[in-house]
Amino acid sequence: MCGNTAEHVDHIKPHRGDQALFWDWRNLQALCAHCHNSVKQRQERANVRT
């Protein structure tokens, strides 16, 4: 998202307990800690799709 070094693997679409979606490598992206812990979390709470 921001270009910083990736430190987290994030689920693009929240899996919400769906094991197939949880393990689907096409649903993963690398994010820096700031984006994962702030920007992405706000989007998920607001139910925004990226």
CB atoms within 10 A of CB 24: 14
Closest Cα partner for 9 from 30, 27, 37, 26?
30
> Would you state the structure tokens that stand for residue 28, as one six-digit string?
């993963």
pLDDT number for residue 40: 72
- Judged by phi (left if over 0) then psi (alpha if -120 to 50, else beta), residue 11 lies in beta
Tens of pLDDT, residue by residue over 4-47, are 999 999 999 988 899 999 999 999 999 999 888 887 777 777 77
Residue 36 to residue 10: CA distance in whole angstroms: 7
